[in-house]
């Protein structure tokens, strides 16, 4: 009998065994030297928790609201592309797991199930992640379809004017499958003799001219709240406030775009301080443990999103695997809260963590 899985990291090896190398490399890889990829995880290890003792922790409440939507925990599913490469049921299985766990799923623009299929599969609360294409009509149509199908917010990803250089995909000549969402709108089949077809596809489609003034355009075509995903600096946090978005996702795209940007967790507090509580700040990148979630919340995130572990769960065990990943993280967060003397998310404060920077200052 196979040994019981005890943490989400263990799904990665199962996914590696289950997937063709080209797809596993696509999911797991980062850009260039993959420095930021390692840092996304390792920077969490350098943050220390300062627990409080002698608190009655018989009841722990992890529930919260995100943009007004109630969830069982501050954990969301990040938008990640092409779930059917991981499992035949694709994004529908992921959405069902989100519904079972009472959490929010962000559906990727480049999904392999349509917004309609995902919407009709279950009652999960869904946000729609948007890329702005050179063909603005396609992006506008996708926003309309998401709105019509009950998606509750638009997550505009802004860190991808061009695709980051993912060397494994180049070596493997990564092939883009038919993106069902875009069927009839755009041919995903780009055949590039050289390197990654994904890169060739992105350079044909992504609008590299997208800039701050275009937020007004997006607002003019939708009534949904807009979150900007990919903010890493105080300068861009302030601009996000100026253009009037509903929230920010601090993210470096799972270290798949520009290498040597800071680990997301290192950038989080800078953004939090710039925004001064005016809009919610979500966070993703490198979250693998309940303690990671606790640290991100202590540094000011309202909720976190999970990318790769969800895909690994899906690849290893379908919908059940995704559910297990979320449940494991919830269980770990609950235990972390109990052992830190925090009964509700509001109890988690800045003084519950000490960053590497603060620890260095103490030694001086």
Ligand X SMILES: Cc1cc2nc3c(=O)[nH]c(=O)nc-3n(C[C@H](O)[C@H](O)[C@H](O)COP(=O)(O)O)c2cc1C
- Point out which residues bind ligand X (CB under 6 A): 27, 40, 78-81, 108-110, 129, 157, 229, 251, 253-254, 256, 284-287, 306-308, 311
The one-character DSSP state at 133 is B
28 is in an annotated binding site: no
State the minimum distance, in angstroms, from the CB of residue 262 to ligand X.
14
- Closer residue to ligand X, CB minimum distance, 80 or 266: 80
State the minimum distance, in angstroms, from the CB of residue 356 to ligand X.
19
Residue that is written with structure tokens 């710039």 in the block: 274
- Closer residue to ligand X, CB minimum distance, 176 or 353: 176
249 is in an annotated binding site: no
SS3 content of the chain, % helix, strand, coil (to 5): 45, 15, 40
The CA distance from 59 to 334, in Å, is: 10
Selecting among 83, 87, 253, 352, the annotated active-site residue is: 253
State the minimum distance, in angstroms, from the CB of residue 290 to ligand X.
14
- Closer residue to ligand X, CB minimum distance, 309 or 342: 309
- Calculate the CA 19 to chain-centre distance: 21
State the minimum distance, in angstroms, from the CB of residue 56 to ligand X.
33
80 is in an annotated binding site: yes
Which pair of tokens denotes residue 333?
A: 């967060």
- Closer residue to ligand X, CB minimum distance, 315 or 342: 315
- Closer residue to ligand X, CB minimum distance, 283 or 353: 283
Q: Per-residue DSSP letters for 313-364?
A: HHHHHHHHHHHHHHHHHHHHHHHHHHHHT-SBGGG--GGGEE-HHHHHHHH-
278 is in an annotated binding site: no
354 is in an annotated binding site: no
Q: Per-residue DSSP letters for 43-98?
A: HHHT-EE----S---S--B--EEETTEEESSSEEEPP-S-GGGT-TTHHHHHHHHH
- Closer residue to ligand X, CB minimum distance, 10 or 61: 10
Which pair of tokens denotes residue 207?
A: 């609008």
The CA distance from 317 to 108, in Å, is: 21
Q: Which residue minimizes CB distance to ligand X?
A: 307
State the minimum distance, in angstroms, from the CB of residue 332 to ligand X.
15
8 Å CB contact between 61 and 344: yes
The CA distance from 76 to 22, in Å, is: 27
253 is annotated as an active-site residue: yes
State the minimum distance, in angstroms, from the CB of residue 301 to ligand X.
13
Contacts of residue 179, defined as CB under 8 A and 6 or more positions apart, other chains included, come to 82, 110, 111, 112, 186, 188
Residue that is written with structure tokens 């302030």 in the block: 238
74 is in an annotated binding site: no
Helix (H) or strand (E) holding 26: helix 21-28
Specify the 3-state DSSP secondary structure of 107. Answer: strand
157 is in an annotated binding site: yes
Helix (H) or strand (E) holding 41: helix 35-45
The CA distance from 123 to 150, in Å, is: 10
79 is in an annotated binding site: yes
State the minimum distance, in angstroms, from the CB of residue 9 to ligand X.
12
- Closer residue to ligand X, CB minimum distance, 129 or 172: 129
The one-character DSSP state at 1 is -
The CA distance from 14 to 32, in Å, is: 25
Annotated binding site for FMN: 79-81, 108, 129, 157, 229, 251, 284-288, 307-308
Annotated binding site: 79-81, 108, 129, 131, 157, 166, 229, 251, 253, 256, 284-288, 307-308
Task: Please list the active-site residues.
Answer: 253
Annotated binding site for glyoxylate: 131, 166, 253, 256
């Amino acid at each position: 009998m196979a040994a019981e899985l005890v943490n989400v990291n263990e799904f990665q090896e199962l996914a590696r065994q289950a997937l063709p190398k080209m797809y596993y490399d696509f999911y797991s890889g980062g850009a260039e030297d993959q420095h930021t990829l390692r840092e996304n995880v390792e920077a969490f290890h350098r943050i220390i928790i300062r627990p409080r003792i002698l608190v009655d922790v018989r009841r722990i409440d992890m529930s919260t609201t995100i943009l007004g939507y109630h969830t069982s925990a501050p954990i969301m599913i990040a938008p990640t592309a092409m779930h059917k490469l991981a499992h035949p049921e694709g994004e529908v299985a992921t959405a069902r797991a989100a519904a079972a766990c009472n959490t929010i799923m962000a559906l990727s623009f480049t999904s392999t199930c349509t917004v309609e299929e995902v919407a009709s599969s279950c009652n999960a609360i869904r946000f729609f992640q948007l890329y702005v294409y050179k063909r603005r009509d396609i992006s506008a149509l996708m926003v309309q379809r998401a709105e019509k199908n009950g998606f509750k917010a638009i997550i505009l990803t802004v860190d991808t004017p061009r695709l980051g250089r993912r060397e494994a995909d180049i070596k493997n000549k990564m092939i883009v499958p038919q993106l069902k969402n875009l069927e009839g709108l755009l041919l995903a089949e780009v055949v590039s003799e050289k390197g990654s077809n994904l890169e060739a596809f992105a350079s044909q489609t992504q609008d590299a001219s997208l800039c701050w003034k275009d937020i007004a355009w997006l607002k003019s075509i939708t009534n949904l709240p807009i979150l900007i995903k990919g903010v890493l600096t105080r300068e861009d946090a302030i601009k996000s406030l100026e253009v009037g978005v509903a929230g920010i996702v601090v993210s470096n795209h799972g270290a798949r775009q520009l290498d040597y940007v800071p680990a997301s967790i290192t950038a989080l507090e800078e953004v939090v301080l710039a925004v001064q509580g005016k809009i919610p700040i979500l966070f993703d990148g490198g979250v693998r443990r309940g303690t990671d979630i606790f640290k991100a919340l202590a540094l000011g995130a309202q909720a976190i999103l999970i990318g790769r572990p969800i895909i690994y769960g899906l690849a290893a065990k379908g919908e059940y695997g995704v559910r297990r990943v979320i449940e494991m993280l919830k269980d770990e967060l609950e235990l972390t809260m109990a052992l830190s003397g925090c009964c509700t998310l509001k109890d988690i404060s800045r003084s519950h963590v000490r960053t590497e920077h603060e620890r260095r200052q103490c030694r001086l």
